[in-house]
Amino acid sequence: MDTESAITLENKYGSFNYAPLPVVLSKGRGVYLWDLEGKRYLDFMSGFSAVSQGHCHPRIVRAIQKQAAQLAMVSRGLYSDQMGPFAKFATELFGFERILMMNTGAEAFETAVKMARKWGYEKKNVYPGSAQIVTCIDNFHGRTTGAVAASSHEGHHRDFGPLQSGFNLIPFDDLIALESALSNPSVVAFIVEPIQGEAGVNVPSEGYLRKAFELCRSKKVLFIADEIQTGIGRTGKLLACFHENFRPDVVLLGKALSGGTFPISAVLADENVISVLQPGDHGSTFGGSPFACHVAHESLKVILEENLTENAEKMGNLFRETIQSFHLPLVKLVRGRGLLNAISFDFGGDLGAGNRMCIALKEVGLLAKTCRPHIIRFAPPLVINQEQMQEGLEVIKRVIHTFRSDSNVFGPL
């Protein structure tokens, strides 16, 4: 099959809920992807920040093969020999007492919402049926009906109503707004991304997260960090909240928990919170299967044993410093932490320019995508080395230098 026929087939029989770049990938190793014609690309998307350990990491591939051949599935209606050791490892690693396993990130969010509401009724004596959860404008917690009800993004919830109630949106990085929202005694939780990834890698002011956590503490409100994108080393710490030296009450993990191989998510919390969910309250057929536990266990070990968190910190600094030093035209700012970064461009009112720039990057061998029309996110696998990062930076420099935002014309590359 060639690129054209693969795209034709997908466009004819697939769905329309994404707008992919015109490239068809068929192989991946580490930071590289190859298309059907054998052209190699640097992957600066990592499957929406999931493939932190690099494509087809040999240890994760072996773990998949081993556990698939041994025992892939028993439901949580039975014990498996994989859950206990993984749960011990993961809780000790992140500093929590307990873990609840799900599949997608959105399901981890849904789990946290249910858990926080029940915790509010049982432990905070909130009037039955009135629990409120505070979330931030421009958040992204997934695409389920609950997650879109908690979203401020018009396109995420328009036409999908009636929307679930009980979410109170406040501006991100605004402690005064948070304090005012928390004055409502029905608030049970504040759910926040430590860095808003999908919104364009919005990094809050220094100290915001820690102060927000302290405010929540003072009002007996759970601070729930959605670290589905920022967690597991991506920002240069195991959890992004660790940059501000505190441990949230609840943490949501996903994406890199499987090395990007299949959906595994988790909710970490202490006994007094997680124990409100009793048999029959919540569950998932696949969540916490022996297969998922074994693969997640190995995926976390790879992050630790290959020092990928430290590498993310180093390579991220290199990325931002180098882009700044280029003084490129159109670049308004570069921001991020570790290997979760974005460049914001001044394209005037040209809403298609970001996408055209991503196509230009693809033409010269680097894959990245816009998360807002004028913002491109750059989030390579954490295994990227200095040479590969330099290669990527050169490509980005050449493309931005020659890009004409007003005409779709590129100079010689």
Ligand X SMILES: Cc1ncc(COP(=O)(O)O)c(C=O)c1O
Write down the catalytic residue from 86, 96, 140, 167. Answer: 140
User: Helices 58-70 and 290-305, interaxial angle, to 10°?
Assistant: 160
Stretch that binds ligand X, among 29-37, 191-199, 310-318, 364-372 (CB under 6 A): 191-199
From residue 185, give the alpha-carbon distance in Å to each of 4, 113, 218, 300. 58, 17, 12, 38
Stretch that binds ligand X, among 58-66, 71-79, 101-109, 293-301 (CB under 6 A): 101-109
From residue 58, give the alpha-carbon distance in Å to each of 52, 53, 65, 297, 338. 13, 10, 10, 14, 24
Among 46, 52, 151, 229, binds ligand X (CB under 6 A): 229
Write down the catalytic residue from 237, 255, 362, 369. Answer: 255
Kindly state the smallest distance separating residue 54's Cβ from ligand X, in Å. Answer: 19
The residue (of 30 and 105) whose beta carbon lies closer to ligand X is: 105
The residue (of 80 and 265) whose beta carbon lies closer to ligand X is: 265
User: Helices 308-326 and 386-402, interaxial angle, to 10°?
Assistant: 30
From residue 201, give the alpha-carbon distance in Å to each of 108, 141, 334, 372. 21, 14, 10, 10
The tokens 């005012």 sit on which residue?
Answer: 180
The residue (of 35 and 227) whose beta carbon lies closer to ligand X is: 227
Kindly state the smallest distance separating residue 205's Cβ from ligand X, in Å. Answer: 19
Whether 255 sits among the annotated catalytic residues: the reply is yes
Among 35, 43, 138, 198, binds ligand X (CB under 6 A): 198
Kindly state the smallest distance separating residue 105's Cβ from ligand X, in Å. Answer: 2
Q: How far apart are CA 35 and CA 20, in angstroms?
A: 14
Give the pairing of strands 132-136 and 167-170.
parallel
The residue (of 204 and 400) whose beta carbon lies closer to ligand X is: 204
Task: Check residue 337 for interaction with ligand X (CB under 6 A).
Answer: no
Write down the catalytic residue from 226, 237, 286, 403. Answer: 226
Task: Check residue 319 for interaction with ligand X (CB under 6 A).
Answer: no
Kindly state the smallest distance separating residue 87's Cβ from ligand X, in Å. Answer: 21
Among 28, 30, 120, 197, binds ligand X (CB under 6 A): 197
Kindly state the smallest distance separating residue 108's Cβ from ligand X, in Å. Answer: 7
Site for ligand X in 243-272 (CB under 6 A): 254, 263
Among 43, 193, 249, 298, binds ligand X (CB under 6 A): 193
How would you classify residue 282: left for phi > 0, otherwise alpha for psi between -120 and 50, otherwise beta?
beta
> Binding residues for ligand X, how many (CB under 6 A)?
16
Stretch that binds ligand X, among 138-146, 204-212, 308-316, 327-335 (CB under 6 A): 138-146
Residue nearest to ligand X (CB): 105
The residue (of 140 and 403) whose beta carbon lies closer to ligand X is: 140
Task: Check residue 138 for interaction with ligand X (CB under 6 A).
Answer: no
Whether 160 sits among the annotated catalytic residues: the reply is no
Among 141, 297, 320, 398, binds ligand X (CB under 6 A): 141
Task: Check residue 35 for interaction with ligand X (CB under 6 A).
Answer: no
Site for ligand X in 37-76 (CB under 6 A): 48
Q: Quick check: 180 and 143 in contact, CB under 8 A?
A: no
- Which positions are annotated as active-site residues? 140, 226, 255
- Binding residues (CB under 6 A) for ligand X: these are 48, 104-106, 109, 140-142, 193, 197-198, 226, 228-229, 254, 263
